[in-house]
Every structure is written in structure tokens, then in C-alpha cells.
Amino acid sequence: MRKIILSVLGVFLIIGAIYVGSTIAESKKTIRPVAKKVIKTVFVDTVKNGTVRIVIPANGNLTAKRRIELFSEVQGIFRSGSKLFRAGQAYNSGQTLIRIDASEFYASVQSAKSNFYNSITAIMPDLKLDFPDIFDKWQDYIKGFDLNKTTPKLPEITTDKERYFITGRGIITEYYNIKNLEQRLGKYSIRAPFRGILTEALVTEGSLVRNGQKLGEYIDNSVYEMEVALSKTYASLLKVGESVTLNNLDKTETYTGKITRVNGSIDATTQTVSAFIEVKNDNLKEGMYLEAQLDAKEEQNAIEINRSLLLDNDEVFVVRDSVLDIIPVKPVYLGETKVVVKDIPDGTHLLARPVPGAYAGMQVKPYVGSKQ
């Protein structure tokens, strides 16, 4: 009897344990709420195609349109002039930039001219006896000869006999030797070929100047040029003489220039073409960095959108019946932040701002903004 009672109690204990265990297990189960479907609100613009003015941005540094590097072709001591040879010094056209001491060379030139004068004087008696018809013109040449002035041009030789006689006495050889010396004498003084300013001075007064030594740089500070590199796509759109708007980096100053030259070849490495913009302004300096806005063309039946809206395969998102869709477009100009595209029908609801995770078929709630 006792065994039966114990067996029954054991069965009840097992059944109770199973019941308690299942109750505890059921209590740990949580009921997950049904996710509520969220529909994103997107900004859209209603497309209206029109004429888009394509402006190509470019930039570069100003360089003087006219510049010369000053080199010495002779040797001597650099003598001081009316103005100090210093960077920033302005000169008028024809003013002496550099004057090198030429006293020794000048004496040799005068000696050669004196010998030349004596040679002509020596043949005058023979001319009077053998060539009386040409004596007068050589006599006039002697009278007009001045050692302190440039050697005058020889009288015109009219006959072969006169040429043989003059050449045989070495007159023509001496004349051209003297002209060569006079040309070299002129190189001891360098004059300003145009009005401008000295931008670099590498020598000072009193220093020894050697043959071939660079002395400085001189520029015309009234006209500057800026070289810009543009994509070969726009090479045919650039025209010489077109006006260009330029401004500094701070957008505080605006200048007007014009295209003066367009390179006829394309850089094989960068596939760009160089255009040169001329600009004049008293406030400009060589080396200034400017930005240019070049009017390329006017594109018909196109719109301008943010570049971030253009997908990799030349496609854009549009909204149709509250659902995103993708349509192909034709980009005609890619700028840094904007892109000009065609082939979007008028009235299309174009996505105005990028939507993270957007995909074709995504349900959205459109919010119509301004028109393109």
C-alpha cells in the first residue's frame, strides 16, 4: 500500500513539474509588433525644358604679355644711371636700363674709324687722276665724316672699275669691320624697349658684368595674359575676340578680358586645349590667380540639375504615381556642381534631392518644389 501511495505521488510530482516548466517557457515568449510601413517624403521638381547658357569655369595665373630677360653680351663694370637698377623700378620707353663702362672699347672703335678715314684719304689722289668722274662723291664723303658720329654709309658704287679699285684698297672690308665694332659698342647700353617695370635685378651698380650673364627681367605691366586649359570638347566653341569675365578668389574684384589666342593643338596627355585671355587693369600684378567664366554656348531644350542627381549610367530618378523610376538622359555639359542634361520630357517629376537607399519601384510621397 505504501508503495502504491509513493508511486502516485511521484507521478503527480512529475506532472506538476512538467506543467510549471511549460508555464515558465510560455511566459518568456514576446510578441513582436507588426512593423509599420514608412513611406519617405521626397522633394521633386517639375521639369520644364528651355535654353541653358553653358558657362565654362577656368582659372590660372597672370603673366605679362610682353617680357624680356636681360642678358649681357659684353663684359665690363656696371655704371650707375639716372635710376637705380632695382626690382619695382619703372622705366619709360627708350630710357637706359643698364650702362656698362665702355671707355676702353670706345677708344678701339675710334682708332679703327681713324684708320678707315686715313685709308680713304690715301686713295683720293688716285681717284682724282684715274677716276675724275667719281672723285666728287668721295670728296663729299670725306667732308661729312665725323669721328664722333656713326660711320656714314659708303657712296654708291656705280661701275665695275670703281668697285675693283675700292675693294682692292680694302675700303669695304674696313667699313664693315667698323660697323661691326659700332654694333658691339651699342651693346654696352641696354635701353627699355617699351614702358614697363623691372621685376628682377640680379646685379648692382659697380659690380663686374660678364659676357652672357643674366641681369634681370623686365615686363610691360599694362597688359597681362592668363593661360587656361579647357577640355577638347569645348575647343570648337572658343572664338578669338570673345569677352571673358574674370574675378579674384574672394569675388571682390571683377575684370573683363578677351580671348586673344587659342592653341591649334591638343595636349596629348591631358586632352585639353590652351586658350589665352588678355586683360588690362592698373590693379593687376603678375602672378595673380584669377578665375574666368567663359561663355561657351546656349543649349536648347535642356535643363540644369545638381550633379549628385546624375547616376553612373547617365540616368536620373523620377517619380511616377508615388513610385520611383529611372530614366536615361543625355548629359551635354558636366560642371563641378551642375550638369546640363537633355531628353527629359516636360512635366516630369524629377527627384530634386538625392534619397539614401533609393531604388526603382520604391514607394515615396512626392513634395513638389520649384520648377526647373
CATH number of residue 361's parent domain: 2.40.420
Label residue 213 by pLDDT band (50, 70, 90).
Answer: very high
Count structural domains, the chain: 5
109 and 171 in a single domain? The answer is yes
Domain assignment present for residue 36? The answer is no
The full DSSP string for 294-363 is EEEEEEEEEEEEEGGGS-TTSEEEEEETTEEEEEE-EEEEE-SSEEEEE-PPTT-EEE-S--TT--TT-B
Q: Write down which residue in 186, 207, 236 finishes a domain.
A: 186
User: Do 270 and 310 belong together in one domain?
Assistant: no
Given this model, what pLDDT does residue 337 score? 82
For 140-185, the pLDDT digits (tens) are 999 999 988 899 999 988 888 888 988 988 999 999 999 999 999 9
Same domain assignment for residues 303 and 318? yes
Dihedral (CA of 181, 186, 187, 188) sign: positive
Asked if 182 and 192 sit in the same domain, the reply is no
Q: Give the residue carrying C-alpha cell 507521478.
A: 11
Q: 179 lies in a domain?
A: yes
Is there a single domain that holds both residue 129 and residue 226?
no
pLDDT tens digits, one per residue of 74-103 = 999 999 888 889 999 999 999 999 999 999
User: How many angstroms separate the CA atoms of 96 and 94, rounded?
Assistant: 6
Residue 337 and residue 360 in one domain: yes
Residues 108 and 180 placed together within one structural domain of the fold: yes
Which distant-in-sequence residues (6+ apart) come within 8 Å of 143 by Cβ? Answer: none
Residue 89 within any structural domain of the chain: yes
Let me know if residue 268 belongs to a domain.
Answer: yes
Q: Report the C-alpha gap between 27 and 23 in whole angstroms.
A: 6
| pLDDT range class, residue 371, cuts 50, 70, 90 | very low
Residue pair 47/350 in contact by the 8 Å Cβ criterion:
yes
State the DSSP H helix or E strand holding residue 143, giving kind and residue range, or none if neither: helix 132-143
Is residue 137 within 8 Å of residue 79, measured between CB atoms?
A: no
| Same domain membership, residue 167 and residue 198 | no
The enclosing domain of 237 has a CATH number of 2.40.30.170
| Distance separating alpha carbons of residues 296 and 73, to the nearest angstrom | 47
Shared domain check, 313 and 286: no
Give the pLDDT band of residue 58 (cuts 50, 70, 90): confident
Quote the CA–CA distance of 99 and 105 in Å, as a whole number.
14
Domain span at residue 291 reads 56-63+222-298
| Whether residue 1 is found in the same domain as residue 75 | no
Q: Is residue 130 located within the same domain as residue 227?
A: no
Mean pLDDT computed over every residue of the chain: 85
Output the domain CATH number for residue 211: 2.40.50.100
Indicate if 119 and 160 belong to the same structural domain.
yes
Q: Is residue 37 part of a domain?
A: no
C-alpha cell at 139: 670728296
- Is residue 120 one of the residues assigned to a domain? yes
Residue 329 has which C-alpha cell?
538622359
Kind plus residue range of the DSSP H or E element containing 183:
helix 171-186
**Tell me, what's the pLDDT at 10?**
65
Other beta carbons less than 10 A from residue 48's beta carbon: 12
**355 is a domain residue:** yes
Which of 133, 162, 186 is the last residue before a domain boundary?
Answer: 186
